[in-house]
Amino acid sequence: MRQPTRLIRDSVDRLKLEVSLPGGRYQLSLDDRAIIVLTDKLGLTERDIVPEPFVPLFVAMGDAWFPNQRDADAIIEDLSSDQTLSSSERSALISYVTESNIAERNAERVRSVLEDSPIADDVSSEDLKVVDLPSLPDSLKPDEPTSSTGKAREVEPDTTEPEKSERSTSEIASELERIPGIGPKRAGQLVDGGVKSIETLADSRPGYLADIDGITEGVAAVGVEGAREIVGRTKPANERLRDQTGVSDPVFDPALASLAASGVPASEAIPKLRVLYGPTVADIDAVTGQQAYYLHEAGYETPYDIVQASQEELTDVYQVGATTAENIQTAANAMLEL
């Protein structure tokens, strides 16, 4: 049975969409623009059901993606948009589509998805704001001195010694190379794109960084998440995996590093590594073989998945009642020592 799309919070505290696709439940990363629509416009919170018609449009607009999967059209084909929208949901979706800048590279995809959406009769191609590139955040804009009138003035000659300027750029690149998956080439591309420090990168949005030449959404997410770990905003991925699996051996570092080099950020790698290296639902003492089967079918693969679910969600699973759900969660917590 197809499960509804839900707004979830991942292991690095980022809001994502948990969607049903052929093969199981998957997580779509979200850019801030989509998060604002869901939380501010629709008033959704963690674990709330997301109206299905929003999802393919988020993907088409470039505000939702699988960092390690570039074929947005294939994702959209597998997403459902069959749902009646309330008047407030319809208004929010129309505003999102018509008021957002749409990168030219995404325009045709947006038009195609729009034709099959519930707001097709309310929005025409002429209503879309198609631009060459989205505006960069201030932190990534090149400095442009202005005169007292506010107009750009001619930049004075740079008297800085070339060696000092080059060394400064090199130092920034070396700093960025501390991030697993960001080697000299990618560090140089990020610096050329306007990233001035680890802190700048930690404050950036993957959706903007992906417009830097040579930087994909996956590499952008690797950089942002890695920078946030280094500046202390999030717990290191290997420590989070240890907490979520109960596996204390340092087996995660090489896997995380090699995946980061391939453009797979920790937020995408952790759910899969948690399944590969940690216990499964079948290892929970309170779970029978039959229950393990149906829990896995419903997308609950590990003890961590059980801990993150609500009692109501678990009781929706065949063969799992209220008392059983409580017992399973208690046992899952004990396994992870939470």
What's residue 297's pLDDT? 84
pTM of model > 0.75: no
Does the residue 140 lie in any domain?
A: no
Same domain, 114 and 224: no
Same domain, 190 and 208: yes
Same domain, 104 and 186: no
Same domain, 73 and 126: yes
List the one residue out of 255, 250, 245, 193 whose CA is nearest residue 224: 193
What's residue 132's pLDDT? 66
What's residue 69's pLDDT? 56
The amino acid that residue 301 corresponds to is E
Same domain, 250 and 300: no
Distance between alpha carbon 163 and the CA centroid of its chain, in Å? 39
- Number of domains the chain contains: 3
Could you say which of 232, 261, 276 is where a domain stops?
276
What's residue 134's pLDDT? 43
Residue numbers of the domain that contains 200: 162-276
| Dihedral of alpha carbons 55, 61, 62, 68, sign | positive
Find the CATH number of the domain harbouring 286. Answer: 1.10.150.20
Model confidence over 244-269: pLDDT tens digits? 887 876 788 888 999 999 888 888 88
Alpha-helical regions (H) of the chain: 32-36, 54-61, 72-78, 87-99, 104-115, 162-176, 184-192, 198-202, 206-209, 217-230, 237-245, 252-261, 266-277, 289-297, 303-308, 311-315, 322-336
What's residue 304's pLDDT? 87
Could you say which of 276, 300, 321 is where a domain stops?
276
Does the residue 323 lie in any domain?
A: yes
pLDDT < 50: residue spans in the chain: 134-136, 139, 141-167
What's residue 175's pLDDT? 94
